[in-house]
Amino acid sequence: MLILLLSLIIVILLFLVLYYAYTKIDYVIINAIDTEIELVKFKQDVKWDLIQSEPFKIYKFRNMIRIIGGVGIANGARCMEYISQNFPHAHIIVIGTCGSLRRDLKIKQMCLVEKALFWNADYTGAGFELGQIPFEPLYFNLNSDLKHIQSLIHIDANIVHVVEGSADVFVMRRDDVLVRFPDVEIVNDETASYALVAYKNNIKHLTVLQFVSDYPS
């Protein structure tokens, strides 16, 4: 009887180990739109299985999931909040496109975002700095660490480290941004909202990779 009980315990423990190994998520990839995953090359043959459609479209492959968060600041914040609640210990990798304010960055240039801000936020009338969300930092420093993702994704040798500005604005004139923040090098919609929610939820690992898609004239 004792042997049977021990055997049952071993089987249960083995099942739990295998279940944990199968369900454990180490990496969460965020794309604002589905096709942005094509911007990177994985070091293994990745085949994504759609496992969920609401509230976000979610794909899974082994210990990775991919979430289609949607375009814009509100969608970015909503997506990151969902991740912080459901995958609090995963390394989050954002893969998206950006407009370049720098003339020397080529189309499809890979950029690693080191810090981000809301470039068009304006609460100066209430005594806050230009670009500052009230009572929050002006800039959000990202814990972008390539060593955590180099085993997954091919990193360009000429990757550029940048400051990114975010807003619900498709920037048509680079000077609209640079007159406010001369240090901003690229722009997009969501990055600062990802960074804000990560900051508020004490998310340790957030790596943002952006690829140049256009140049505001």
pLDDT number for residue 213: 96
Q: Which residues contact 168 (CB under 8 A, 6 or more apart)?
A: 72, 73, 189
Measured on CA atoms in the order 67, 211, 149, 40, is the torsion positive or negative? positive
Give the whole-angstrom CA distance, residue 141 versus residue 161. 12
The structure's pTM equals: 0.87
Residue linked to tokens 């954002």: 94
Whether the per-residue pLDDT at 17 is higher than 90: the answer is no
Q: How far is CA 127 from CA 106, 123, 132, 152, in A?
A: 39, 7, 10, 44
Give the whole-angstrom CA distance, residue 155 versus residue 157. 6
**Are residues 164 and 135 in contact, defined by beta-carbon separation less than 8 angstroms?**
no
Amino acid letter, residue 138: L
Q: What tens digit of pLDDT does each residue of 104-163 get?
A: 999 999 999 999 999 999 999 999 999 999 999 999 999 777 887 888 999 999 999 999
pLDDT number for residue 6: 60
**27-214: CATH architecture:** 3-Layer(aba) Sandwich (3.40)
Residue 157 CA to its chain's centroid (Å)? 21
Calculate the average pLDDT of the chain. 91
What is the average pLDDT across 82-110?
Answer: 96
pLDDT number for residue 12: 53
Cβ-based neighbour number of residue 208 at 10 Å: 27
* The pairing of beta strand 140-141 with beta strand 110-118: antiparallel
Residue linked to tokens 């099942």: 15
pLDDT number for residue 22: 42
- Mean pLDDT lowest among 5-9, 16-20, 87-91: 16-20
pLDDT number for residue 14: 47
Q: Percent of the chain scored above 70 by pLDDT?
A: 89
Whether the per-residue pLDDT at 13 is higher than 80: the answer is no
Residue linked to tokens 């898609």: 213
pLDDT number for residue 21: 40
Q: What tens digit of pLDDT does each residue of 171-217 get?
A: 999 999 999 999 999 999 999 999 999 999 999 899 999 999 999 97
Domain ranges for the chain, please list them. Answer: 27-214
Q: Coil, strand, or helix at residue 207?
A: strand
